[in-house]
Amino acid sequence: MNIVLKIGDQALSSEELYPLLAQYRLLPQLAKEIIIDQAIASITCTPEETQLAQQQFYQKQQITDETQLKVWLDHHGMTPEQLANLTVRDLKIEKFKQLTWGDKLDPYFVKCKGQLDRVVYSLIRTKDPGVAQELYFRIQEGENTFSELARQYSQGAEAQTGGLLGPVELNTPHPKIAQILAASRPGQLSPPTQIGEWWIILRLEKYMSAQLDENTRQRLLNELFQGWLLAQLQQNVEFSPPSFSPEKEESYTDKLN
């Protein structure tokens, strides 16, 4: 038997690793990592980039000398060659993202912008349509402020903030709320609207248009990368559990118990 892992008194062979990876739901993650390595295999780094990536990795892992390096390698069951690949892996992944989707970010941003825009808004919600209508008129006529009535009548956590919520992205609130806010002007009070069991009153306070800055670029790159990775996993990965004879199946079960 080819023993590849010992945990206390339990010795595991390479044949026994597959059912364990499946049992602990690690196979999809392993497949993802292999897909990534295949994708970045042709990506290169300059000596300067490699050295900097290694320094940053060692600093993050608090590796300051050869003794600590050996302890780290032993702890992770890794060879120096594997570690060298690991230290530049994140850099290669970022290069792969840029090469694959860097020139597609502008149209993708335009497509997503409506969901990335942020809003600050005020909300009152109640289950009584009559109360909602009365509160709407009192705010509209200036008899009371939105904040006063939200603190007194709103039946959600927003009552603690005088009804004020945000800033949040437009894809965060209920779709119907997002639709009303997207069509509103700052300061515009929307009449009572029913959403499920609630009657809500909304006022858009501030609309902040999303910009394709560095943070947004990185976020969109990550979204495109994760979407690609999920598609690769669904289309190109097939798990094939090894066959076990009854004797081996029983022996394996005994080891787990």
Q: Average pLDDT of 121-142?
A: 97
Residue 1 pLDDT: 62
What pLDDT band is residue 15 in, cutting at 50, 70 and 90?
confident
Contact (Cβ atoms closer than 8 angstroms) between residue 90 and residue 36:
no
Does pLDDT of 247 surpass 80? no
Measured CA to CA, the distance from residue 247 to residue 96 in angstroms comes to: 47
Residue 241 pLDDT: 81
What pLDDT band is residue 165 in, cutting at 50, 70 and 90?
very high
Residue 22 pLDDT: 92
For the beta carbon of residue 45, count every other beta carbon within 10 angstroms. Answer: 15
What pLDDT band is residue 117 in, cutting at 50, 70 and 90?
very high
* Residue predicted with more confidence, 177 or 242: 177
The residues facing 169 across adjacent strands are 118
Q: Average pLDDT of 9-33?
A: 92
Measured CA to CA, the distance from residue 179 to residue 55 in angstroms comes to: 49
Residue 252 pLDDT: 45
Q: What token pair was written down for 123?
A: 């909300």
Measured CA to CA, the distance from residue 216 to residue 42 in angstroms comes to: 27
Q: Which residue has the tokens 């739901």?
A: 25
Measured CA to CA, the distance from residue 97 to residue 108 in angstroms comes to: 14
Cis-peptide into 167, omega within 30 deg: yes
Average pLDDT of the residues of the chain = 93
Q: Average pLDDT of 154-173?
A: 96
Strand ranges across the sheet with 164-169: 164-169, 118-126, 198-208, 189-195
Using alpha carbons only, what angle is made at residue 69 by residues 64 and 73, rounded to the nearest 5 degrees? 150
Stated pTM of the model? 0.81
DSSP H or E stretch at residue 60: helix 47-61
Question: What SS3 class is residue 5?
Answer: strand
Side-chain half-sphere CA neighbours of 185 within 13 A: 1
Does pLDDT of 206 surpass 90? yes
Instruction: Count the helices and strands in the chain (H runs, E runs).
Output: 12, 6
